[in-house]
Amino acid sequence: GAVVSQHPSRVICKSGTSVKIECRSLDFQATTMFWYRQFPKQSLMLMATSNEGSKATYEQGVEKDKFLINHASLTLSTLTVTSAHPEDSSFYICSARVATSGQINSPLHFGNGTRLTVT
Amino acid sequence: KQEVTQIPAALSVPEGENLVLNCSFTDSAIYNLQWFRQDPGKGLTSLLLIQSSQREQTSGRLNASLDKSSGRSTLYIAASQPGDSATYLCAVFNQGGKLIFGQGTELSVKP
């Protein structure tokens, strides 16, 4: 159970273009999804928390106008990297928590990540 | 601010050896601690989750312990196999509602 699907798995884009990454919970509903970024040989850094039907909460230092997050349904959150630059090249991973009342400490389930390369 | 540290950063062992990976965290006010495995270029696979009220969890050859008061956790892997080669990440779910990761231990098990 608890499968999170992330698409695409790899994307190469030119500098200045925008890229959308989708994160879907396939067999459960997720009121909260998290977006992480991982640079080579480094750990996962939380970028933002996405709540269904409301605005995302961004971590300090993450530009909300550059990394647009939309969580329009209980099974889908999207991250759009706008006007991408080579320094945005990274591995982006989403995670989701099963929407069970009171279970704030339930485990997170992760997607397989998206490798973004900006040329 | 919660900080999670993993030692060692890299570890190479011969097949069959038992090994221990270490994780420490600065703020003991956590809901739970989770150990993950990450293969190169891939997402995360959850291995074990220990709630703050628990002391350890076991799954097959893996055993994870938690000492919340001292801010430490260990992941014990018994009888290591080449297929265990991966990066192991420790993460704590703090009371601010966020999962904070360590930098990982890159494990290589030589046949």
CB A44 within 8 A of CB A55: no
What is the chain B residue with the closest CA to A110? B44
Average pLDDT, chain B: 94
Name the token pair of B20.
């221990």
Pick the more confident residue, A108 or A110.
A110
Give the count of Cβ contacts less than 8 A between chain A and B.
Answer: 52
Q: Which residue has the tokens 């938690």?
A: B66
Which of B5, B34, B44, B59 should we substitute to test contact with A (largest number of A Cβ atoms within 10 Å)? B44
% pLDDT > 70, chain B: 100
Per-residue pLDDT band at A105 (split at 50, 70, 90):
low
The angle subtended at Cα B25 by Cα B20 and Cα B63, nearest 5°, is: 30
pLDDT value at residue A101 = 46
Per-residue pLDDT band at A3 (split at 50, 70, 90):
confident
pLDDT value at residue A99 = 65
pLDDT value at residue A103 = 60
pLDDT digits (tens, 9 = 90+) for A71-103: 888 899 999 999 999 999 999 999 998 766 456
Count of alpha carbons within 13 angstroms of residue A77, beta-carbon side: 32
CB A97 within 8 A of CB A26: no
Short-list B21, B34, B3, B17, CA closest to B106: B21
Asked if A43 and B46 come within 8 Å (Cβ–Cβ), the reply is: no
* Closest approach of B14 to chain A, Cα-based (Å): 23
Whether chain A has a CB inside 8 Å of the CB on B43: the answer is yes
pLDDT value at residue A28 = 85
Of B46, B51, B98, the CB nearest to A46: B98
Whether chain A has a CB inside 8 Å of the CB on B93: the answer is yes
Please compute the mean of the pLDDT values over residues A104-118 and round it to a whole number: 86
**What whole-number distance in Å separates Cα of residue B75 and Cα of residue B90?**
9
Whether chain B has a CB inside 8 Å of the CB on A93: the answer is yes
Residue A115 belongs to what H/E stretch?
strand A114-118
Whether chain B has a CB inside 8 Å of the CB on A35: the answer is no
Q: Which residues are CB-neighbours of A61 under 8 A, at least 6 positions away?
A: none
Q: Mean pLDDT lowest for which of A13-22, B12-21, B95-104? A: B95-104
Whether chain A has a CB inside 8 Å of the CB on B96: the answer is no
Asked if omega into A107 is within 30° of 0 (cis), the reply is: no
pLDDT digits (tens, 9 = 90+) for B47-101: 999 999 999 999 999 999 999 999 999 999 999 999 999 999 999 998 877 889 9
CB B85 within 8 A of CB B34: no
Per-residue pLDDT band at B109 (split at 50, 70, 90):
very high
* Model confidence at A47: pLDDT above 80: yes
Q: Which residues are CB-neighbours of B16 under 8 A, at least 6 positions away?
A: B79, B80
